[in-house]
Amino acid sequence: GKIQERYADLQGYLQTLETVPLDELDRNEKMALFINAYNAQCVRGVLDRGEIESVRNVFLFFKRTKFVLGGQDFSLDSLEHEALRPMGDPRIHFAIVCSSKSCPELVNEAYTSENLDAMLDRQARKFLADPEKNRLDREEKTLYLSKIFKWFEEDFTKDQPSILAYVSQYLDDSTAKFLEERKGEIRVEFLPYDWSLNGHY
């Protein structure tokens, strides 16, 4: 069936990644490759384990999903925390997709060094515009944000004074203006994270 075909394509793609010469890639090529590899390995990890209700239910899913990338051993965990995050672009958090409902949506195209910047920007805007994941209650003056912003606060505030300042860059104009005008009064709260599978395969 279709899933089997896609799975075979996925396996073929992942095999080519095993021998990619990482040292010959520039920063953007490497970042694009790491994001594509993370998302593909996550899909493979979920498919390999059959029907699982939630990626958190699988014991240490992110540590146990292991693979070779450019001749080096990785897990999803080490690819995120030791390869991608140190590259210093917090927008990766809108691009790597852990297959659960609260994480960003998987895009149907590969990241490349050419489209990387535009796609990361688009993903940031899309994620912040999704009311299930982030929303502003104007009456309460409360900005409800994804827990991703709490977990990785140090990434988002490395070049920005606050989470509020960071997200304002990617919000629609009227929301950003509302936050700017009431800067001192806005409360930030974090929404519960839903680890159940998004079922988009």
Closest alpha carbon to 191 in 135, 153, 138: 135
Rounded-to-integer distance, Cα 50 and Cα 151, Å: 28
Closest alpha carbon to 92 in 34, 44, 147: 34
Rounded-to-integer distance, Cα 85 and Cα 158, Å: 12
Rounded-to-integer distance, Cα 187 and Cα 137, Å: 10
- What is the residue-averaged pLDDT of the chain? 91
pTM given for the model: 0.91
Q: 92 and 120 in contact (C-beta within 8 Å)?
A: yes
Q: Is residue 172 part of a domain?
A: yes
Which pLDDT tens digit goes with each residue over 75-97? Answer: 999 999 999 999 999 999 999 99
pLDDT at 110 over 80: yes
Q: Is residue 44 part of a domain?
A: yes
Rounded-to-integer distance, Cα 198 and Cα 31, Å: 25
**Structural domain boundaries enclosing 42:** 2-190
> Given pLDDT bands bounded at 50, 70 and 90, which one contains residue 199?
low
Rounded-to-integer distance, Cα 113 and Cα 134, Å: 28
Tell me what percent of the residues of the chain surpass a pLDDT of 90. 71
pLDDT at 39 over 80: yes
Tell me which residue has tokens 């409902």. Answer: 101
Q: Is residue 196 part of a domain?
A: no
Give me the mean pLDDT over the 150-175 stretch: 96
> Given pLDDT bands bounded at 50, 70 and 90, which one contains residue 57?
low
Q: Is residue 151 part of a domain?
A: yes
Q: Is residue 184 part of a domain?
A: yes
Q: Tokens at residue 33, please?
A: 């490759």
Rounded-to-integer distance, Cα 145 and Cα 133, Å: 6
Q: Is residue 198 part of a domain?
A: no
Q: 149 and 156 in contact (C-beta within 8 Å)?
A: yes
pLDDT at 194 over 50: yes
pLDDT at 70 over 70: yes
Residues across the chain: 201
pLDDT at 49 over 80: no
**Coil/strand/helix, residue 125:** helix
Rounded-to-integer distance, Cα 24 and Cα 117, Å: 20
Q: What is the gyration radius of the CA atoms in the chain, in angstroms? A: 18
The number of distinct structural domains making up the chain is 1
Residue 196 Cα to chain centre, angstroms: 16
Q: What is the amino acid identity at position 32?
A: A
Q: Is residue 195 part of a domain?
A: no
- H or E element in which residue 190 lies: strand 187-190
Specify the pLDDT at position 87: 97
Give me the mean pLDDT over the 149-156 stretch: 97
What's the DSSP call for residue 54? Answer: B
Half-sphere exposure of 21 (CA within 13 A, CB side): 3
